Amino acid sequence: MIGSLLRLAWRNLWWNPRRTLIAMSAIGFGYAMLLFVACLMAGLRQQMIETGTDLVLSEIQVHAPHYDPDHPISLTLGGRNGTDVNAAMAAIAADPRVQAASPRVYGYGLVSGTHQSAGAQLVGVVPDREQTITLLQTRMVKGGYLSAATPKGVVIGDQLATTIGVQVGSEIVVLTPAADGSTGNDLYTVTGLFHTGLDEMDGGLVFMPLATLQELLRLPPERIHEIGIKLHDISDAAATAAALQIQLGKFFPVRARPWQVLAPELADYVQFNRRVTFILFFIFFALAAMGIVNTMLMAIIERTREFGMLMAVGMRPFQVVGLIVAEAAGLAAASLILGAAVGVPILWYLQVHGLDLGHDGGTVSVAGVVVGPYWYGQQDFASYAEAALGLAITALVAALYPAMRAARFRPAEAMRKV
């Protein structure tokens, strides 16, 4: 019964192939567009989360409870006595979701080159470890990244280098209030310049080996401000942070926060991006619904006599509804297949080649994160399925109105219609 209904519906669709094909290509092209947009939006989210967290932030940060970057340097993990850094790192690494972790020390100081001075944040990292959680080493434009072999070597942003008039190989003086109240100052050699495209990083960060900054700030080795963590899967960030907070809390008072809390503007943007994608879906569903209503309405008006005849020979109204809904479903299914056929090469292209945002290193900065020079797509199968499912449901719902109309035909009148 259902099988014959579907067969009948499919045959009816091709009763007027031109109309069906036009409707199919409209809906199918729309679906391909949705795939395109969903893929690009997912790619943007992915790229933003990755650059936002992997450049310097990291995915989870562990601090002393009241620490924030403006706080005095005395707020180290484990308080004034510090902590056994290796034990804390081991405790973090014990969580199977953690891929890598790296300790950090922060300060703020005056950085002076040949003539000019500028204020900058000082970041002390363990070069080998830091490279396992962040990607700054991939953004070096001159010279190289920090190395354990050059304890007095620092890397700074290219903008800061221009501001204070230094190059790779130049000496800089760093002046900073130290933990004991004295004024820490020393000479360092610039071994590399990085460029991230973000002014606050390129113009305001100085990276140096952890032990070097601890010495400048007169902090003993067991005193660090932060542990940055990278996970195997970034979507575990919130849950892992909560677990680490409990786990590390056994050693010292601690606050572990995922990137969504550390960079709320980034998390907001990801939310916003998802919503925009969803709104686009709905606009498309509405358009598709109108197309289907129109197609099916035209179809039943043209086929009034046919429906009258079918009902006269015993087709029940609910079967008429079923027939028309089945036709709509067939139309939607064929459209989706067509759309997917058009869309898959586009998705492949976006993932492999990306959209070129400009040849000379053109970048776009969104919510404080740089995207580019290529905007790559990211396969978001959940969204593709949602779009397909939404479209199918839309088609069925949209077919109901024409179907109800057809179901109310009176056979005698309907058969007399021209």
Q: Which residue from 182, 220, 279, 358 is in contact with other proteins, where contact means CB under 8 A?
A: 182
Q: In the window 20-79, what residues touch other proteins (CB under 8 A)?
A: 74
Beta carbon of residue 162, minimum distance to other proteins (angstroms, whole number): 17
Quick check: 331 and 395 in contact, CB under 8 A? yes
> Does an H or E element contain 225, and which?
none
Beta carbon of residue 75, minimum distance to other proteins (angstroms, whole number): 10
Residue 183 touching other proteins (CB under 8 A): yes
Question: Which class for 80: exposed (0-12), middle (13-18), buried (19 or more C-beta within 10 A)?
Answer: exposed
Nearer to other proteins, 182 or 365 (CB): 182
Nearer to other proteins, 3 or 72 (CB): 72
Q: Which residue from 16, 185, 245, 294 is in contact with other proteins, where contact means CB under 8 A?
A: 185
Tokens of 105: 């020390």
Q: Which residue from 186, 222, 306, 386 is in contact with other proteins, where contact means CB under 8 A?
A: 186
Span near other proteins by CB under 8 A; candidates 6-14, 176-184, 280-288, 368-376: 176-184
Beta carbon of residue 187, minimum distance to other proteins (angstroms, whole number): 4
Nearer to other proteins, 19 or 218 (CB): 218
**Residue 154 DSSP symbol:** E
Pattern 100-119, binding to other proteins, x per CB under 8 A?
A: ----------x-x--xxxxx
Nearer to other proteins, 177 or 373 (CB): 177
Q: Which residue from 177, 317, 390, 411 is in contact with other proteins, where contact means CB under 8 A?
A: 177
Beta bridge partners of 155: 192, 207
Residue 181 touching other proteins (CB under 8 A): yes
Number of helical (H) and strand (E) elements in the chain, helices listed first: 14, 14
Task: Describe the crossing of helices 381-407 and 264-302 by its angle, rounded to 10 degrees.
Answer: 30
Q: Which residue from 128, 180, 233, 268 is in contact with other proteins, where contact means CB under 8 A?
A: 180
Nearer to other proteins, 1 or 187 (CB): 187
Instruction: Name which of 153, 158, 201 is nearest 174 in CA terms.
Output: 153
Q: Return the SS3 of 176.
A: strand
Quick check: 357 and 363 in contact, CB under 8 A? yes
Pairing of strands 183-194, 153-157: parallel
Question: Which class for 251: exposed (0-12), middle (13-18), buried (19 or more C-beta within 10 A)?
Answer: middle
Span near other proteins by CB under 8 A; candidates 91-99, 126-134, 182-190, 378-386: 182-190
Nearer to other proteins, 186 or 386 (CB): 186
Taking the CA atoms of 208, 214, 215 and 221 in sequence, report the sign of the dihedral they define.
negative
Nearer to other proteins, 129 or 223 (CB): 223
Distances from the Cα of 240 to the Cα of 99, 207, 227, 235, 245, angstroms: 12, 27, 14, 9, 8
Beta carbon of residue 185, minimum distance to other proteins (angstroms, whole number): 4
Distance CA 57, CA 331 (A): 49
Beta carbon of residue 173, minimum distance to other proteins (angstroms, whole number): 5
Angle at 375 between CA 280 and CA 345, to 5 degrees: 70
Q: In the window 356-395, what residues touch other proteins (CB under 8 A)?
A: none
Give the alpha-carbon dihedral of 232, 236, 239, 243, to 10 degrees. 0
Residue 179 touching other proteins (CB under 8 A): yes
Question: How many residues bind to other proteins according to rule CB under 8 A?
Answer: 20
Beta carbon of residue 118, minimum distance to other proteins (angstroms, whole number): 7
Beta carbon of residue 216, minimum distance to other proteins (angstroms, whole number): 10
Span near other proteins by CB under 8 A; candidates 32-40, 93-101, 172-180, 250-258: 172-180
Pattern 132-171, binding to other proteins, x per CB under 8 A?
A: ----------------------------------------
Which amino acid appears at position 19 of this protein?
A: R
Residue 273 touching other proteins (CB under 8 A): no
Beta carbon of residue 180, minimum distance to other proteins (angstroms, whole number): 5
- Residues recorded for the chain: 418
Task: Describe the crossing of helices 381-407 and 17-52 by its angle, rounded to 10 degrees.
Answer: 150
Residue 81 touching other proteins (CB under 8 A): no
- Those residues with Cβ within 8 angstroms of residue 356's Cβ, 6 or more apart along the chain or in another chain: 373, 374
The alpha-helical segments, DSSP class H, found in 53-149 are 85-93, 127-133
Q: Which residues bind other proteins (CB under 8 A)?
A: 74, 80, 110, 112, 115-119, 173, 175, 177, 179-183, 185-187
